[in-house]
Amino acid sequence: MARLKVKYIQEVVPRLKQELGVTNTLRVPRLEKIVVNMGIGVVDKDAFKTHVEELAKITGQRPVVTRAKKSISNFKLRKGTTIGAKVTLRGERMYEFLDRLINAALPRIRDFRGLRRDAFDGRGNYTLGVREQTIFPEIDPNQTGAIQGMDITVVTTARNDEEARLLLSHLGMPFAKK
- What is the value of pTM for the model shown? 0.88
CB-CB contact of 60 with 96 (8 Å): yes
pLDDT, tens digit, for every residue of 89-118? 999 999 999 999 998 888 888 888 888 888
pLDDT, tens digit, for every residue of 54-97? 889 899 899 998 888 888 888 777 888 888 899 999 999 999 99
Antiparallel, parallel or unpaired: β 82-89 and 64-67: antiparallel
What value does the CA radius of gyration of the chain take, rounded to a whole number of Å?
Answer: 18
Indicate the domain borders of the chain.
Answer: 3-38+86-171
Classify the C-alpha dihedral 128-134-138-143 as positive or negative.
positive
Domain 3-38+86-171 -> CATH class: alpha beta
